[in-house]
Amino acid sequence: MSGPDSPRDVTILGEPAGSDRPADPGHEGKGEIHLVHMYPREMSIYGDLGNTRCLAARIRRHGYVPVVHQHHPGQSLPETVHLMVGGGGQDSGQVTVEADLERHADRLRGLVTEGVPMLMICGMYQLFGQSFVTVDGRRVPGLGILDATTQGNEVRMIGPVVLSTEFGDVVGYENHSGSTVLGAGQDPFGRVRHGQGNNGSDGTEGAVTGHVVGSYLHGPILPANPRLADALIGWAAEVATGRPFEPEELDDAVADQAHARQVARLLG
């Protein structure tokens, strides 16, 4: 169960009431896009909930109707899924969602095959990999959607990040103790220009398979990087409607200025 009647849902600041409900007939705009936030209580720290708010707002600005779902442990996944996000959490949070994630593993892998875009940050990025070994040695198996293996450490990797990616320069903030190594054929999300990335040594950050993006960048990442947000929305719109993405011209002047200043500050 999700929606305003569920006591377990998390308030998303600025999100209109009733946005978890389908549009009234005749008011679907260019189409409905069902957006699912995985484990917003257990796996959404360092501002990751802002990614959901950003996507819902931009979906509306592009003329589509977002239907925002929150998925909590023990619930069924929504019948319709066009876009999915997940965030970071404590090691205890990852252990809490482990069984639920395994219960939905086949459905999640099926959604990936159908081209449903997903953005998984920090802890959820690790759980979408092969496995995560906590700092005290407990092995948490992952979904294997991304060929990435993570080892927890005592020393955290913290600070601002600039990446080179297929979506242009991406800025964000990393805060993780996990050190991730990619498999031989796994594409990274980006190359580190400032910061530490997956492990502080090989210059990679995150991982990308199809329309699934894993990354350590909090911030949250999407308001600071509109081009990445629109790539996810574009893929979701195509899945939802069966038609090419029909974007509007959006005024991103403030976000673009903030992005440019952060890149200049860190690389200048």
Which CA distances in Å does 51 have to 54, 95, 110, 214, 252? 5, 23, 23, 13, 16
Q: How far apart are the first and last CA of the chain?
A: 49
Report strand pairing: 139-141 vs 131-133. Answer: antiparallel
User: Which phi and psi angles does 172 have, rounded to 5°?
Assistant: 180, -165
Q: Report d(CA 42, CA 96) in Å as an integer.
A: 8
79: DSSP letter: S
Which residue in the list 34, 211, 218, 259 is annotated as catalytic? 218
Displacement of CA 241 from its chain's centroid (Å): 21
Which residue in the list 122, 176, 211, 259 is annotated as catalytic? 122
User: Which phi and psi angles does 123 have, rounded to 5°?
Assistant: -60, -40
Q: Is 27 a catalytic residue?
A: no
Q: Is 218 a catalytic residue?
A: yes
Q: Which residues are catalytic?
A: 122, 218
